[in-house]
């Protein structure tokens, strides 16, 4: 049980980090910073692939919980990035 909670927390945290990287990528594209956008694009693609692989390897019910945790992290990451830019 503790292992499952730790995995859910890590997926949530990974979602936050991934979404913060997406925000940085979007800013790089808007500012026409080619190399930054290029590198971030590759990092984000790898991170998403790894996260989805980790989520899918479990059973169906646990996968749904993992997807919800990752999506929740993405939601919090968007909120943090938007609030940070608003200040």
Dump the DSSP string for 43-74: HHHHHHHHHHHHHHTS-HHHHHHHHHHHHHHH
pLDDT of residue 4: 83
Over the stretch 12-29, which tens digit does the pLDDT of each residue have? Answer: 999 999 999 999 999 999
Contacts with 26 (C-beta within 8 Å, 6 or more apart), sequence order: none
Residue 40: its pLDDT value, please? 96
- The low-confidence residues of the chain, meaning pLDDT below 50, are none
Query: Angle at the Cα of 70 (from 29 to 65), degrees rounded to 5?
Result: 160
So where are the chain's domains? 2-86
């Amino acid at each position: 049980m503790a292992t499952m909670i730790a995995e859910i927390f890590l997926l949530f945290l990974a979602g936050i980090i991934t979404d913060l990287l997406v925000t940085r990528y979007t800013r790089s594209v808007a500012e026409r910073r080619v190399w930054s956008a290029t590198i971030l694009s590759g990092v984000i693609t790898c991170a998403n692939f790894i996260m989805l692989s980790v989520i899918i390897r479990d059973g169906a019910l646990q996968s749904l919980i993992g997807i919800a945790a990752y999506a929740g992290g993405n939601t919090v990451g968007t909120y943090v990035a938007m609030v940070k830019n608003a200040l």
